[in-house]
Structures are given as structure tokens and as C-alpha cells.
A and B are shown apart, each in its own frame.
Chain A
Amino acid sequence: MSTEEAPGAAADAAVARILAATVHPQAGAPRGVVVDSPPGAGKSTLVVRAARELVTAGERLMIVAQTNGQVDDLVGRLAEKAPELTIGRLHAADSRPGPEVLRHANVTPSDKVADLVEHDVVISTSAKWQWVRAEAPWRHAIVDEAYQMRSDALLAAARLFERALFVGDPGQLDPFTVVGTEQWAGLSYDPSSSAVVTMLAHNPQIEPHRLPVSWRLPASAAPLISDAFYPYTPFRAGTGPDDRRLTAAVRPDGSALDAAIDRAAEHGWALLELPARHTVRTDPQAVTAVAATVRRLLERGLTAHSEQGEAPLTADRIAVGTAHRDQAAAVRAALLKAGVPVDGAAGPAVTVDTANRLQGREYDVTVVLHPLSGRPDATAFHLETGRLCVLASRHRHACIVVARAGIAELLDEHPSTEPVQLGVSVKFPDGWEANHQVLHHLTGHRVRLR
């Protein structure tokens, strides 16, 4: 790929190669096709296209996603973009799919796979697929968010298909377990590792494809995210520096919050820094600052200008990301108090969630409570590369990070005595190093809140 090539052409070429390998595999080609997709690189579009082309080629198809939210998203997108397909939404007996999914005429929900086998495409979570006992009529599967799927889940579901397209973002959060798995560390099929890692270890002839262009991340974010989180598989932004703009109807009131918002509108990033202090996770001042920032974002009547036209920045285009659930709950409570809608069932609302749950999501503006803010110590959880990567790569326009001062020192003083397991390939980058890089960049966009 030459750097001169237009992003659209580079991305199209990559997609064409992937579709050819998936829909018309050469004789003797490996049974899996793997696509590594950085944030917002058109993964969902690729899945829809692959599904359509496979069905056109006369195949019936099963799709595996990891959460009910992801499945519903995918069903909605597929139903809309490919109205000619009949889609079966297989769900668990005690969890009905969301109402937005069922309004499509070409979608049939059922908790029994037998009701759905005649459909062109059947979609469900990996947890539900593992229980499907039917004599599998599918030759092809698409596994979405495959890096989040655990190896043991693939082991249970792989008997259902012969060939599969695995699509996912290797930079996001790894699957995890709460019990000890040391005895399997280094085994190619460690059940707690990622499904893709296992599958590739056993099928070394598979060369992962890469989507080279992020359509979500603006030109202000793609280089940083690429350098900090994808050091060996760089990507670039699909839009130029002038393609995305945020404008405000209301002039700044001179407050630090507005200064941060303006900074983010202009540069794509802002670090709203509170004075250094050790706090508990639900640092009330930081939580208040996050909520106040969101409220000001809405009050100032921002408009997002992009290659897709212009649109007002409404509550549903804003997300708040945190590391912990209690932090999300505290932010939600603070937003409610500030009169900002947070309940999606009652109209457009701000999404407030943890990094785990924001995976795969996209917003115009994000406000992030830095995982290390106010902490006296950094733990492996807070330093996990994927967590920061998810939080820093959900936005199309701007990301405002709220944090207490002192993170650089905290990182410097963090003991780096990680154990090393033989045979486990080291994941790059290291969270500590990535945190340093991101923080270094953010420091250039710092606004102090006193």
C-alpha cells in the first residue's frame, strides 16, 4: 500500500481482497479468513457486504457476535442495508431482542433454532450458539468482534460451520476470567485466550487481512491511536484535517469547561485537569466535572460538520466512558441531577458506560474519566492497553479527558515487575507505554480546572 494512495482506494482494495478470500476461496485455501480492524475502519460495513455476497453466492450463513447489544446492532444494520435477506434473530429464552430490531419486516426472532434454519442469515450471541444442537446446515460463519470471543467459546461453537470470517479489533479489551488459568498459559489453545489467537496458532497459513483506514477517527486522532496502540499495524484517517469541524452556537463563558470544549472542538482533544489529589474511584469532583462538561456541550448548541453533512450534537451523539461501573453510575446520577437525559428509552440520551460496554460503539463527542485519575496506585486493570484504547477511540470529532493531575508521576512510579509466561506472545503495546504516549499528547491540550 502506498501512502500516496487515496484512503478510499486503499480501503476498497483491502475489502475486495477480503471478500474474494471469503466468498470465493481458492482450492486448498485455509478455512478461516481473519480481518484485523482498527477502530471505526468499516468492520460493520464489511460484515454486511460479506453476508450479502455469501447469500448471493447461494450460501446460508450464521453470524456470531459477543453480546446481545452487538447482535441487535448487527441485525438492525443488516435488515436496513440488505432488505432482501431473511434474517433470523436467535435469542435466549429469558432475553428478548430489543424492540428496534423487531420493527424490521425481514427479521424473525425465536429462541429455537429450528424455527430459523430456513432463513438466509441467522444471528446470535456466541453464548447462545454454543447451545445450538441442530445438525448444522451452515457452511459459512461470520464471527464478529472475534478478538473478544474466548477460545473456549469458539471450541464449543466451531462444529457448526466449515469456514469462517473472523472480524475484530485486536486493540480492544481481551476476554478475561475470574479464576486461575496459569496452567494453560503458553498452550496454543489456552481456553481463556482470544478465539482468534487460538485459531491462528493452529492455522499458521492464515495471514490476517487489515483494514487500513479509520472512517470514524478524525485526522486529529488516528495518528495518535495508531502510534500508541497499533505500533506494528499502522492505519490512517479516512478524512482530512478540515473535513470534521465542531461549531458552537453559544460563545464560551470564560470557564475552564468551555475552554476545554473549545480546545477539543478545534484540536480534537482536550485534557480537563483537576488539581492533584488521591481520591476514591468515584471522585465526586471529577464526576461533577464530567457531568458539567456534558451539560455545557449540550447547552452550547454544538453542530458537527463532517463529510456526511452537518448535524446538531444531540445527547445521543455523546458518550461518557469510565473504567468502573460505580463510576458510570455516579456520572449517570450527576447527569440526572444536572438535568441531562441518560435513559435511552425516554428519548435521545447520553450514553454512560464502562470501556467494556463501549467496545464497538461510535459517538461524535466523548467525555472520558481517565482510568488513572486520582489513583494512588496503578493496577494491571487500570493500565490495560485495551481499556484506554477503547475510551480514546469512540469519537468522530472530539474527545475530552477529565483527570486529576499527577498521572505522569503515577506512571513513572509504577513498579514494572510483570511476570512473563513462556510461549505467550507479548501483546503490544504495553499499557504503561501506551498510557505515557497518550498522556504526553493530551498534555499539549491541557486546560486546568481550579
Chain B
Amino acid sequence: MNVSTNAPSRGHSEPLSQRLAELRGPAPQRSLNARSLAALAANPGCHRRAVLDAAGVDKSALASRLGRPAPFGQSPFAIARGVIFESRLKADDYAALLEPLRRHLGLPADGGAPLVVPDLLRRSGSAVRADRTAEALAAAAADPDAWTLLDHPLLRLDVAGSTAYLEPDAVVVHGGRCTVVEIKSFPVLDGSADPAKVGAAARQAAVYVLALQHAAAARAGEALAPDPYTEQRLTGSPRLSVLLVCPKDFSNRPTAVAVDVRRELATTRRQLSRMTGIGRLLDALPPGTGFDLAVDEDGGPARSADELATAVEAVPAAYSPDCLSTCELGFHCRAQARCGDRVEQLGRGVRGELGSIRTVTEALAAATATGSGTDEAAERLAYAAALRAEALGAAVR
């Protein structure tokens, strides 16, 4: 994960980014990237996550300070395999990567137009890289006959007043249009792959497509098409299907599959447009709230674990068990949900059956109540409890 300080955005949102910076304190900002933006979709109702992400707080470090560290990690074997797969694809002038792209994009075989791979200054800073990518993209899109491969370009996207830098694995440009290429190390086995992983890849790729759409619209001096399903056909506009390049079956050979990301694109657009509402969430915070994870000169923490816990508590969370696998604070929020006796600890679906009942105690009280209440949910619980008691009693008998 790359940690960098986000450039202040062009525009008039300094107050918001300033307030977010104050929340974070002097610790380095976790920059928004495609993965974290796509992850917003996992629980868009959670104010806690929205505020912490917008402020660029290191949630993993925060979770450790709160005493329930995030259990996420990647095996060195998995990382090594991913690196090996990608480097194999790029060996010999991208020979292995071009093979599946050729089939999907009609890339000419040897002898046709040569593939241009511009230098995108990968060792430079983000701003320089993004400018260089924009130039290269404009040049590639201007020549419809050329085939250009942008290897790890850096794209800009304005998100709620700050600039996020996004780095797709590759973008192929031809015929004045570009195609996002995502390289993943999970396999495509007999034509199918783990749907959860493909879904995550599609959401991530949709963020790149959105950034490319913005870039193309800005270059053309036009507004982004209002309808999310419309394919804007400007010079350099991205195609709405991306190419997923994965190992085929049990081998290391690559295969490419086109994935239609229109649905994910529409979702991403809506989620990102909601991010601007973060100001209202900040207004609701008590004065002095902060998530400063920095260390003082004498080595002690700027804020104690208790202070951090209070600050976290000040932003309401929408906990559900899915958070355990998608959010660093999942275990902390679960402990709180359990402490608070909330029914959400049992899963999202549970609330649908319990109507306005929010706690376990309330629910069990309703289940054992004898009089017919006015609440439909309570009445159904009492009925269910009677049936359960009868069935268990019958079994004992």
C-alpha cells in the first residue's frame, strides 16, 4: 500500500480537506486508491468508515491501538506468485500479455503496427507521473492507427475535494479509445472464476474507467454523460468493458476475459457523489474529536487508546458481520455491537424480521411476553417462541 500526502485539490474545498486533516493529525495520510474507493461500496451506510477514510486515517494502525488488530494479511507465497505472474506477462516485450489481448482487441500480430510503450516515469512523484500519463494518453488517443500500451499509468480522480491517484495495471489505447487491463493472480478455471473476486476486480476497474471518463471529458471540454450507462465516445474515452488477465486453469499461462463494468460504474458514480456529504458528518462530531495516531517526541502516543476509542465512538458505525472481512475496524465494531446488545451482531438479514426492535434483550422480552402487544414484530416473536417451546417440549417428552 502506498502512503503519500495527497495534493490539495483545485477548487474551493480547502475548509473540508483542512477539517479532515485536523481529524487525522500529523500522521501521514492514507491516500485513497482504487481499492479503497471500491471498498466504499462494501458498506456505504457506515459513517465511521466514511469519515476515517475521507480523513485518510490509517485504520489498521487505529484498530491495533484500540486493541483489536485487523486480521488481514497476505501470504508471502501468494504475493510471490502474483509478482511472478505479472513479470512473466511483461517479459520479452510483453509477449505473454499481448497474446490474449490480441485475441480480444484485434491487436495485429507481428508485422502490423508496432506497439508503443511510452515511458511513464514510474520513479517520479505522483503529480509528475499523472501529468506524464495524461500526455501519453492524449498522444495515443490522437493517433487512431497506433497501438499503445500504458504500463502502470497514474490517473487522477477528484473525490470529495481531494485528489486520489489511481494506478491500473495497464491501459491499451487504439482507435482513439482506451481499454483498462487488470491483472489478477486468481485463476480462470474452465472459463469461470471466483465470482466474489471477479466482482471486486470489476469494482476496482470501474474506478479506473471513471477516472478515464473524466479525463476524456475534460480534454474534450465536455461534461460527463449524465446517464451512467451511456458510453461516451470522445477521443480517449474508455470502453465500458475491461479486460481481466488471469492464469488459465492450473497453469501460469495468461487468459483474458472481458468484463462489462457498466453496473459497477453506475454504482461507483453514485457512491463517490455521496462522498461530498462528508461535511455534514463532520458537523455532527463533538469538538475536539481527533484520530491522531502520531507519537510524541518522548515516544508516547499523542492520544491514549481511551481517547481514540471515545473519538471512534463519536462517529456512528453501521456494523454488520461482513465488516469482519472488509474493514480493519471490524473486530472493534463487533465488540461494540455485542456490548450494545445490538441485533446486528447476528447479521444484516436479522433486522428485516425484527422491525423496530434493535436489541437482543428487547427481542427476547418480546418473545416471552404473554399479552398481545401492538407491535407486529413482537407478536410474531412471541408466536415463534411458543412454537419453539412446543417443539422442544415435544422432543423431550
Q: Contacts A375-B352, A421-B192 known; A415 to B42 CB distance under 8 Å?
A: yes
Q: Contacts A413-B318, A420-B198, A426-B262 known; A277 to B43 CB distance under 8 Å?
A: no
Q: Contacts A279-B376, A412-B44, A433-B266 known; A419 to B193 CB distance under 8 Å?
A: no
Please tell me which one of the listed residues A280, A412, A425, A433 contacts residue B228 in the complex, with CB atoms under 8 A apart. Answer: A433
B199 on the A face (CB < 8 A)? yes
Main secondary structure of the interface of B (DSSP, over half): helix
Nearest Cβ on chain A to B374's Cβ, whole angstroms = 9
- The CA-CA distance from A284 to B379 in the complex, in Å, is 12
Q: Contacts A280-B380, A283-B376, A425-B260 known; A415 to B191 CB distance under 8 Å?
A: no
Name the B residues within 8 Å of A282 (CB-CB).
376
- The CA-CA distance from A284 to B374 in the complex, in Å, is 10
A432 and chain B: residue at smallest CB distance: B267
B355 on the A face (CB < 8 A)? yes
Nearest Cβ on chain A to B359's Cβ, whole angstroms = 13
Bitwise interface map of A from 265 to 288 toward B, beta carbon under 8 Å scored 1, else 0: 000000000000111111110000
Q: Contacts A420-B259, A426-B260, A429-B229 known; A279 to B377 CB distance under 8 Å?
A: yes
- The CA-CA distance from A186 to B41 in the complex, in Å, is 25
- The CA-CA distance from A279 to B274 in the complex, in Å, is 26
Name the A residues within 8 Å of B196 (CB-CB).
417, 419
Please tell me which one of the listed residues B41, B188, B262, B351 contacts residue A416 in the complex, with CB atoms under 8 A apart. Answer: B41
Name the B residues within 8 Å of A278 (CB-CB).
351, 355-356
A427 and chain B: residue at smallest CB distance: B263
- The CA-CA distance from A271 to B251 in the complex, in Å, is 56
- The CA-CA distance from A182 to B348 in the complex, in Å, is 23
Name the A residues within 8 Å of B67 (CB-CB).
none
| A423 and B349 within 8 A (CB) | no
A307 on the B face (CB < 8 A)? no
Please tell me which one of the listed residues B42, B244, B380 contacts residue A417 in the complex, with CB atoms under 8 A apart. Answer: B42
Q: Contacts A280-B380, A377-B351, A429-B229 known; A186 to B191 CB distance under 8 Å?
A: yes
B301 on the A face (CB < 8 A)? no
Nearest Cβ on chain B to A217's Cβ, whole angstroms = 21
| A420 and B195 within 8 A (CB) | yes
A166-199 interface with B by 8 A CB criterion: 182, 185-186
| A231 and B229 within 8 A (CB) | yes
- The CA-CA distance from A280 to B373 in the complex, in Å, is 14
Q: How many residues of A contact B (CB 8 A)?
A: 38
Bitwise interface map of A from 33 to 63 toward B, beta carbon under 8 Å scored 1, else 0: 0000000000000000000000000000000
Nearest Cβ on chain B to A381's Cβ, whole angstroms = 10
| A412 and B199 within 8 A (CB) | no
Name the B residues within 8 Å of A417 (CB-CB).
41-42, 196, 199-200, 203, 322, 326
| B377 and A436 within 8 A (CB) | no
- The CA-CA distance from A229 to B290 in the complex, in Å, is 45
A418 on the B face (CB < 8 A)? yes
Please tell me which one of the listed residues A185, A376, A415, A433 contacts residue B352 in the complex, with CB atoms under 8 A apart. Answer: A376
| A379 and B380 within 8 A (CB) | no
A278 and chain B: residue at smallest CB distance: B356
Bitwise interface map of B from 178 to 204 toward A, beta carbon under 8 Å scored 1, else 0: 000000000010011101101110110
- The CA-CA distance from A23 to B310 in the complex, in Å, is 75
| B352 and A377 within 8 A (CB) | yes
B158 on the A face (CB < 8 A)? no
Name the A residues within 8 Å of B349 (CB-CB).
377, 379
Sample of 26 A–B contacts (CB below 8 Å): A182-B195, A185-B195, A231-B227, A280-B354, A280-B380, A282-B376, A376-B351, A377-B348, A377-B351, A413-B45, A416-B41, A416-B44, A416-B203, A416-B264, A417-B41, A417-B199, A417-B203, A417-B326, A418-B263, A419-B195, A420-B199, A423-B191, A426-B263, A428-B263, A430-B263, A430-B267
User: Chain B residues in contact with chain A, CB under 8 A?
Assistant: 41-45, 188, 191-193, 195-196, 198-200, 202-203, 227-229, 244, 257, 259-260, 262-264, 266-267, 270-271, 274, 318, 322, 326, 348-349, 351-356, 376-377, 380
Apart from A417-B203, A421-B195, what 13 extra A-B contacts exist at CB < 8 Å?
Answer: A182-B195, A277-B356, A282-B376, A377-B351, A412-B44, A414-B44, A415-B322, A416-B203, A418-B199, A422-B192, A426-B262, A429-B229, A436-B270
Closest A-B pairs by Cβ, 10 of them: A413-B45, A419-B195, A376-B351, A420-B199, A420-B198, A280-B355, A416-B267, A419-B199, A416-B41, A280-B377
